[in-house]
Amino acid sequence: MVDLELDDGLAVVTIDRPHARNAIGPATMDRLDKLLDAVAEAADTAHALVIRGAGDKAFVSGGDLKELAAIRTEDAAMEMALRMRGICDRIAAFPGPVIAALNGHAFGGGAEFALAADIRVAADDVRIAFNQVSLAIMPAWGGAERLAALVGPGRALLLAGTGQVLDAHEAERAGLVDRVLPRAAFEERWRELGHRLAGRPAREIKRVMRPGCSAREAARAFARLWVTDEHWTAAERVMARGR
């Protein structure tokens, strides 16, 4: 249902429900929570995280309406919203870079799930939409707030208020997607990007980019890297080329 792969510094979480277009219900939330626990335990060796869906049709199609139809009270709906929002918050709080690999369409809650990542890459035939309004509801998993922070409140209200569907290139121009990749090379390219980020000090860069990081903390993070063997080995190579 949800799988975890640890691949040489890269943690890959895959929602594996292609029969349900990788929709998320209560059991999927349970499994996501458990796998994020495992990712946290491996944080010393997992330096970057990828979230993705199985297959090539859907990244995540949103909440599983068949499973969530049992929720009929306001309190139960609020509890579900807070629970999945907490999972998205855990993904966003991962100390290293988080990539959402949009292998397929991301609609509704799936678009919210993608926005929990730092970076979104999409296959060139993918579409994305915050189209909860088609069900007479609104984003519930933190997506409205993340969307406003990403593209500005006016554009966010336009996108979420109308449910406009964007293709991959339109989403890239809007700032929702950071890189569009050809479908034929998509699996290879997102994994290559994940390994590049895992093998570099991107974790420290992410930490100092967060609100509240002081100039002194940022300078200390730089200084810790400056004195490492990895830095001086790389510096020696550069200096040797100039001799």
**Do 23 and 142 have their domain in common?**
yes
**Do 103 and 220 have their domain in common?**
no
**Do 67 and 166 have their domain in common?**
yes
Place of tokens 């990081």: 213
**Do 154 and 34 have their domain in common?**
yes
In a domain, 57, yes or no: yes
pLDDT, average across residues 126-153:
97
**Do 82 and 159 have their domain in common?**
yes
CA distance 61 to 104: 9
**Do 53 and 170 have their domain in common?**
yes
pLDDT at 11 exceeding the cut of 70: yes
In a domain, 164, yes or no: yes
In a domain, 203, yes or no: no
Please give the pLDDT value at position 44. Answer: 87
pTM exceeding the 0.85 threshold for the entire prediction: yes
For the chain, give the mean pLDDT.
96
Three-class HEC string of 179-226: EEECHHHHHHHHHHHHHHHHCCCHHHHHHHHCCCCCHHHHHHHHHHHH
Q: Residue 68 belongs to what domain range? A: 2-197
**Do 115 and 234 have their domain in common?**
no
Please give the pLDDT value at position 199. Answer: 87
**Do 217 and 176 have their domain in common?**
no
**Do 119 and 22 have their domain in common?**
yes
pLDDT, average across residues 84-107:
97
Please give the pLDDT value at position 60. Answer: 97
pLDDT at 185 exceeding the cut of 80: yes
Band (228; pLDDT cuts 50, 70, 90) = very high
**Do 20 and 113 have their domain in common?**
yes
pLDDT at 50 exceeding the cut of 70: yes
**Do 231 and 157 have their domain in common?**
no
pLDDT, average across residues 210-229:
95
Please give the pLDDT value at position 243. Answer: 63
In a domain, 205, yes or no: no
pLDDT digits (tens, 9 = 90+) for 160-174: 999 999 999 999 999
pLDDT digits (tens, 9 = 90+) for 53-82: 999 999 999 999 999 999 999 999 999 999
Burial 137-171 (b: 16+ CB within 10 A, else e): eebbbbbbebbbeebeeeebeebbeeeeebebeeb
Q: Is 160 in contact with 149 (CB distance < 8 Å)?
A: no
Band (200; pLDDT cuts 50, 70, 90) = confident
Q: What does residue 3 show for φ and ψ, rounded to 5 degrees?
A: -115, 150
Question: Total domain count for the chain?
Answer: 2
pLDDT, average across residues 186-207:
95
